[in-house]
Amino acid sequence: MDTIEKQYEDYFDLFSRPGWKLLMEDVQGMVQGIDSLDYIKDHDDLIDKRGQLKVLRRMQGFENAIQTAYTEYLGAKTL
């Protein structure tokens, strides 16, 4: 097994763990808590929350991004 396949295997192991699912639930709660204009104080606060949302949403999409990359890797490997 090469290094790339081992990395994917490790990611898939991580995604199957209860701790990952718990983290994703917490991230979803954080997104819901931040994703509102109701509590924005000023422009700087808006920019700060926007940055937080970008990071949290990237975390939410991480598992899907790894799965997509792995599928592409397998497709390129069979060529």
Query: Rounded CA gap, 34 and 37, in Å?
Result: 8
Tell me which long-range contacts 69-76 makes (C-beta under 8 A, separation of at least 24).
70/8, 70/11, 70/12, 73/4, 73/8
Kindly list the domain boundaries of the chain, sorted by start residue: 3-77
What's the start-to-end Cα distance of the chain, in Å? Answer: 18
The tens digit of pLDDT for each residue in 3-44 reads 999 999 999 999 999 999 999 999 999 999 898 888 899 999
Does this model's pTM top 0.75?
Answer: yes
| Residue whose C-alpha is closest to residue 6's, from 49, 71, 70, 68 | 70
Average pLDDT over residues 41-55: 95
